[in-house]
C-alpha cells in the first residue's frame, strides 16, 4: 500500500484556532496511508514581486515543503467573507515567481470550521477560485462546511458526535481516493 505525503495549511494564525482543532480531527480520522505535515505560514513576509529573483528563506522553505508533499489540505476560517490574509499571502509566495507555481497539478482539499451555521462556505468558494487559477486539482465533492462547537470537538481533535465523526471520516476517505486518482494520472 502506497503512503501519500500530505502537507496541510491552517489558515488561521491564532493560537486558539478552531481550524487547528479541526485539522487534528481530520488527521485522526484519515486513512492510515496518509501522512501529514503542517506547512507553517505565520513567519512569511508580505509577498512582493520585488522578491521574485531572490526569495527570503521563509518563502523558500514554504516552496520546499509543498514540493515534498504529494497532496495539500487547506483548513481555513472565514474572515470578512473570504480567506485570511496570511493564507492568501502564502499562496501568493508559493505560486511565484512566474513559471514556478508550486500548486501546478497538486491534489488538494479545502475544508474549514466556523461557529456560524454556514461554516466557511464563502471563504471556501474564494479559496477554490484562487486554487483553480493556480491549477491545483481540487476535490470538488464532498464539500465540508463545519459548524464548530466544543460539544462536538475536543481540544485534541477528538470528535464527540457520531454523525460528525462519520462525515469527517468519509470526507478524508474521499480525499485519499482523490489523491490516488490525481497522482495516477499526474504523478508528482
Q: How far apart are CA 77 and CA 36, in angstroms?
A: 20
Q: How does DSSP classify residue 160?
A: -
Q: How does DSSP classify residue 108?
A: E
CA distances from 107 to 24, 34, 126, 136, 166 (A): 20, 13, 18, 6, 23
What's residue 2's pLDDT?
Answer: 83
Task: Determine the distance from the C-alpha atom of residue 14 to the mean position of all C-alpha atoms in its chain, rounded to a whole number.
Answer: 16
pTM, full prediction? 0.97
Residue 112 · residue 76 · CB < 8 Å: yes
Task: Determine the distance from the C-alpha atom of residue 140 to the mean position of all C-alpha atoms in its chain, rounded to a whole number.
Answer: 14
pLDDT per residue rounded down to tens, the chain (188 residues): 789 999 999 999 999 999 999 999 999 999 999 999 999 999 999 999 999 999 999 999 999 999 999 999 999 999 999 999 999 999 999 999 999 999 999 999 999 999 998 989 999 999 999 999 999 999 999 999 999 999 999 999 999 999 999 999 999 999 999 999 999 999 99
> Which region, left, alpha or beta, applies to residue 62 given φ > 0 means left and ψ of -120 to 50 means alpha?
alpha
The secondary structure of 15-81 as a DSSP string is TT-HHHHHHHHHHHHS-TTEEEEE---TTPPPP-GGGTTS--HHHHHHHHHHHT-SEEEEE---BTT
What's residue 141's pLDDT?
Answer: 96
Q: How far apart are CA 36 and CA 21, in angstroms?
A: 14
Amino acid at each position: 500500500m502506497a503512503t501519500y505525503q500530505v502537507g496541510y495549511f491552517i489558515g488561521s494564525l491564532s493560537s486558539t484556532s478552531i481550524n487547528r482543532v479541526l485539522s487534528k480531527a481530520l488527521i485522526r480520522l484519515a486513512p492510515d496511508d496518509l501522512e501529514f505535515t503542517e506547512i507553517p505560514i505565520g513567519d512569511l513576509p508580505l509577498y512582493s514581486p520585488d522578491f521574485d529573483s531572490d526569495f527570503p528563506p521563509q518563502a523558500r522553505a514554504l516552496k520546499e515543503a509543498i514540493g515534498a508533499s504529494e497532496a495539500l489540505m487547506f483548513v481555513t476560517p472565514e474572515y470578512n467573507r473570504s480567506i485570511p490574509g496570511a493564507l492568501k499571502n502564502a499562496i501568493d509566495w508559493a505560486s511565484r515567481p512566474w513559471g514556478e507555481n508550486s500548486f501546478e497539478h497538486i491534489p488538494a482539499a479545502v475544508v474549514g470550521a466556523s461557529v456560524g451555521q454556514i461554516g466557511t462556505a464563502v471563504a471556501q468558494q474564494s479559496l477554490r477560485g484562487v486554487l483553480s487559477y493556480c491549477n491545483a486539482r481540487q476535490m470538488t465533492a464532498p464539500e465540508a462546511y463545519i459548524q464548530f462547537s466544543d460539544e462536538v470537538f475536543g481540544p485534541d481533535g477528538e470528535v464527540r458526535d457520531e454523525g460528525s465523526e462519520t462525515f469527517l471520516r468519509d470526507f478524508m476517505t474521499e480525499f485519499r481516493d482523490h489523491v490516488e486518482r490525481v497522482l495516477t494520472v499526474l504523478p508528482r
